[in-house]
Structure 1
Amino acid sequence: MDPKHRQILQRNRLNLVTALNPADICDGLLSKGVFTQDMIDEIQGKITRRDQARQLVIDLETRGSQALPAFLECLRETGQHALAELLQCGDGARLPPSVPIQPSLIPLPVQNTKYAEKPDRPDFTPSRLGPLRPERLPVPNPFSPCESCYKMDASPCGICLIINNVDFGPDCDLKDRKGSDIDCDKMEKRFKALNFEVIAKRNLKYKRIRHEMASLAKRDHSAYDCCVVIILSHGTEANHNRFPGAVHGVDGPAVPVQLITNYLNGQNCPSLQGKPKLFFIQACGGGEKDTGFEVSPDEVEPSLGGIDDQMDAIPISSSSDSLSTSDELDARATLPTPSDILVSYSTFPGYVSWRDTQAGSWYVENLDRVLEENAATDDLVTMLMMVNAAVSQISAKGLYKQMPGSFNFLRKHLYFQSSLS
């Protein structure tokens, strides 16, 4: 596709996902040779209209130079003139509220259908979960170069392990992390809403953190599309050759983030090969405090942190551990060991991370909000940039700043399942 055409689609992704009726135009795109029957089948296999629209736009960006003109023609043929004119202008403006969205009936698969039961738990919130999804059908090879997005339609999508360290031992010189339970509750509810099986563990010692990671790596993830690990703890610097930082067990010793990621890499967890492994670390990366630098008033919107902000740090640790440090050559067709891994840090390596004892950490609060507001339309990397921007505008005690960041080794775009339809 022409780069200009691709930019038009990307600028208007929100409008397309919100208003497009894929069922109306699939036949037209097939007859015009834009899509193959396999692509149409994949689109129609999505349960919600919104997910169908997202897949259609993703596939459209991979087609030839005539894909956008043919798409515009199909929109006009099916009466979706407002979208056609919007794309013709190519300016990415929002559709006016008066533009109606025509409902479309989407047939559900009738074979091999097995619906997930609602869990019998008091904190289960049906309104935040998407429609029940059928059992997975055979899918294309995840290593196929023609796919620009990770497959994320399994039900549940994957396992989300949350390690929430709050109460630290009296001999380890680490304060209790008041407010961390608020973070844990937010992440548990958020990833349940994104159709993950959530496992929350509280107050784990060093050896127990490693045990939980080893147990997670030994599980069979073949039926899942993704795996998420969220760690809420004190943190410190650590020697590394891939991922910086380390997180403390409640007994004091710190587990390097590099070791934590190694448990789930393609070498040590075969059932997650080619699938995204996401790590969200709410912990300090060191002991430095960032006072920021002056900018013009229109650069930021000042936002003060809570009156009881604390940090999640202690001095540097020399700990370095790794499950695999081999540099041997391999003549087989392989992927790099850390591929399909993303580690999102609440703060820049070496710096403290702030937590409000009453409202939870800056990072988790904004991560939860951004996922709630944007998971239906935006990919993960885009949403993490939104989190970075929001956290960077907050100040602790009117002075100190914080800058989240990510080490991104994903190979494709990642879109979470959404409860919106």
Structure 2
Amino acid sequence: MEEVHRKILQRNRTNLVTDLHPSSLYDGLLEKGVFTQDMIDEIKSAGTRRDQARKLVQDLETRGSRAFPLFLLCLEQTDQQSLAQLLQCGAPAVQLQPATPNKVDLPVVRPLPLSLPTDFDQQRKDVVPIHPTQRPSLTPSPSPERESMRTTPTGRIRRDSIQSYKMDASPCGHCLIINNVEFEPESELNNRKGSNVDCDKLEGRFKALNFIVEVKTNLKQRQIKHALSALSQKDHSQYDCCVVIILSHGTEVSHSRFPGAVYGVDGQHVPIQLITNYLNGRHCLSLQGKPKLFFIQACGGGEQDTGFEVSPDEVEPSIGGADDQTDAIPMSSSSDSLSMSDEVDARATLPTPSDILVSYSTFPGYVSWRDPQAGSWYIETLDCILEENAATEDLATILMMVNHDVSQNSAKGVYKQMPGSFNFLRKPLYFQTKA
């Protein structure tokens, strides 16, 4: 595809994903040779209409120079003229007519030799007759798990993209929010002013993303474990995803997989590694192969990041305030009661941590900042970027945007914060959004 046409598709991707009706285009795109039947089948299996539209536009960019004008022609022929006109604005003039079918030179099929090696004859007496004119297809049949393959000019096959997670169940899945605000005096932990602001934002956001949201407030360590255990024992068969959000004080603990821990209001911590174990492929069978997302607003340790100097054009306005507070507790040397040694997963084809993403508000070992009135930097940014981009961007891209925006903030004019994630997802993940 011409670069100018590719940029037009990318610039209008949001409108295409929102308004395109791909099902009406399949026959025309197949007839005109823009896509093969295998590619059409793969686009159909992408999931919702939005997912199919997104996949169609992505694959269209990989096709030849006539893909763009033929796509416009298909839009015109299926009463989607408004999209065709939108794409033609600023584009070079194109001829909206079908391409003349190219003559295809079929390879010459020569008969295979019917004589077999002597040692083979001795091993097999019931040799099946060979029919040299029958050749198996080299194209694998479509599968929900199959990766999209493309052939390079040199004839080598490369992987262009991986199909996204199925995310069209309604509701999409459960979302558990644990919001620890008021801590017991014996814990020697300060109350977390502003956390209710975070909780309200996330409750509304994930309801808008079609999740069943349950909020639990001020839980002790054993209550956190009980809530996670109850979530793992639910039947998630009819759902496509599960989300756990924890807003609390945090600390750094020894670990073998996921760093950090969060505190109950009694001052006893629960390691992130243990939290993820409740929903992994071994302990929650109905979530096997489905994305399990964990968002942790808590400190990863007690170190305050003062950042480093960059050139002026790298700096953007920051929003941090002089009254920002941290969720930090000194590092704990305690190991958790649950053994963390690696074991064989209950599902042989997938390792235990697969399909898990843990998003941290701050880099392990550092503090996380929270405004007593506006809430935490991380949650405020996450909510805003989800609102603006969930309809068109996958989760990994969204979290990268969050990382960038939070990194521009400064607390007390000095301290910085850098979110990050441990991503064990196997596919892109797109949330459901209202049409």
TM class by shorter chain equals 0.7 to 0.9
Alpha-carbon distance in 2 for matches of 1:7, 1:77: 19
Q: Supply the AA of the counterpart residue of 1:290.
A: D
For structure 1, list consecutive stretches of 5 or more residues without a partner in the other structure.
90-139
Please point out which of 45, 48, 66 is paired with 1:46. Answer: 48
Alignment partner, residue 376 of structure 1 = 391
Deviations 1:118-152 (A, max 9, x none): xxxxxxxxxxxxxxxxxxxxxx9764445520000
Q: Which moved more, 1:282-291 or 1:68-77?
A: 68-77
Indicate the percent of aligned positions where both proteins have the same amino acid: 68
Post-superposition shift, 1:184?
Answer: 0.4
Q: Supply the AA of the counterpart residue of 1:334.
A: T
Please point out which of 347, 362, 385 is paired with 2:400. Answer: 385
- 5 Å-filtered alignment, 1:236-385, equals 236-321=251-336, 323=338, 325-327=340-342, 333-385=348-400
Q: Do residues 74 (structure 1) and 71 (structure 2) align?
A: yes
Alpha-carbon distance in 2 for matches of 1:316, 1:22: 53
Deviations 1:370-403 (A, max 9, x none): 0000001100010111111111111111111111
Q: 1:311 to 1:330 in 2, by over 3 A?
A: closer
Alpha-carbon distance in 2 for matches of 1:78, 1:15: 14
Alignment partner, residue 26 of structure 1 = 26
Contact between 2:345 and 2:351, CA under 8 Å: does it hold in 1?
no
Alpha-carbon distance in 2 for matches of 1:55, 1:150: 12
Q: 1:24 to 1:254 in 2, by over 3 A?
A: same
Q: Supply the AA of the counterpart residue of 2:238.
A: A
Post-superposition shift, 1:9?
Answer: 6.1
Post-superposition shift, 1:320?
Answer: 2.7
For the residue of structure 2 that corresponds to 1:171, the secondary structure is: helix
The higher relative CO (CA closer than 8 Å, separation ≥ 6) is in 1
Alignment partner, residue 117 of structure 1 = none
Q: 1:76 to 1:329 in 2, by over 3 A?
A: same
Q: Supply the AA of the counterpart residue of 1:263.
A: Y
Post-superposition shift, 1:86?
Answer: 7.8
Q: Which moved more, 1:27-36 or 1:395-404?
A: 27-36
Post-superposition shift, 1:56?
Answer: 2.8
Alignment partner, residue 13 of structure 1 = 13
Contact between 1:34 and 1:70, CA under 8 Å: does it hold in 2?
no
Contact between 1:26 and 1:40, CA under 8 Å: does it hold in 2?
no
Q: 1:176 to 1:266 in 2, by over 3 A?
A: same
Q: 1:40 to 1:169 in 2, by over 3 A?
A: closer
Alpha-carbon distance in 2 for matches of 1:75, 1:260: 50
Post-superposition shift, 1:329?
Answer: 6.0
Post-superposition shift, 1:69?
Answer: 4.0
Q: TM-score normalised to the size of structure 2?
A: 0.76
Deviations 1:263-297 (A, max 9, x none): 11111111111111000000000001111111122
Post-superposition shift, 1:304?
Answer: 3.2
Post-superposition shift, 1:321?
Answer: 2.7
Q: Which moved more, 1:308-317 or 1:52-61?
A: 52-61
Alpha-carbon distance in 2 for matches of 1:282, 1:70: 46
Post-superposition shift, 1:243?
Answer: 0.6
Cα root mean square deviation, aligned: 3.0
Alpha-carbon distance in 2 for matches of 1:67, 1:378: 25
Q: 1:282 to 1:192 in 2, by over 3 A?
A: same
- When the two structures are aligned, how many residues end up with a matched partner? 364
Contact between 2:13 and 2:57, CA under 8 Å: does it hold in 1?
yes
Post-superposition shift, 1:83?
Answer: 6.0
Alpha-carbon distance in 1 for matches of 2:347, 2:264: 39
- 5 Å-filtered alignment, 1:106-121, equals none
Post-superposition shift, 1:14?
Answer: 3.1
For the residue of structure 2 that corresponds to 1:363, the secondary structure is: helix
Greater Rg over alpha carbons, structure: 2
Alpha-carbon distance in 2 for matches of 1:321, 1:141: 41
Please point out which of 162, 165, 169 is paired with 2:180. Answer: 165
